[in-house]
Amino acid sequence: MFNETDKPGPGAPAGSSDHKYTQSSYNVRIGGDRVVSLGDRATLFFGPGIEYWSGKAKWENFSQMRESQNVTRISLSGRLGTIMMLSDAVGFSCQIGRKLGIASATDAGRKVSSWPSSFDAAGGLVFSFGK
């Protein structure tokens, strides 16, 4: 989810209102990772997956309010990452990935499609709750 509010500046006409932009989306990935142990505390993982993404946007107080139709994307993805345990209970994870998909939307009988691709990276804490 994301939103942005733009307030009129000193040069704007009197009575100008704030412009607001919001977007919301979600995605789900299903994959089959392979896992390789790199010692007692380190693990390497990599593998392919399929991702489904859907989202839309809304503009308020522009010349008119407008809300986009849902855009959906189905992608093939691949990722490579590591998990490094710093102790028996806490560790760090990082990964990089690549996606190639097809996106589409329909509005008033018109259909648009594209072939988006992207690169992503993530890192975070890992907690182990026992073995």
Q: What is the pLDDT of residues 26-80, one digit of tens each?
A: 999 999 999 999 999 999 999 999 999 999 988 887 667 777 888 999 999 999 9
Helix and strand counts by DSSP (H, E) for the chain:
0, 9
- Angstrom distance (rounded) from CA 22 to CA 130: 41
Strands 19-31 and 34-37: unpaired
Q: Which residue range is the domain that position 24 belongs to?
A: 2-11+18-127
CA distances from 129 to 24, 55, 89, 126 (A): 33, 34, 7, 10
pTM tops 0.85: no
User: For the chain, how many structural domains are there in total?
Assistant: 1
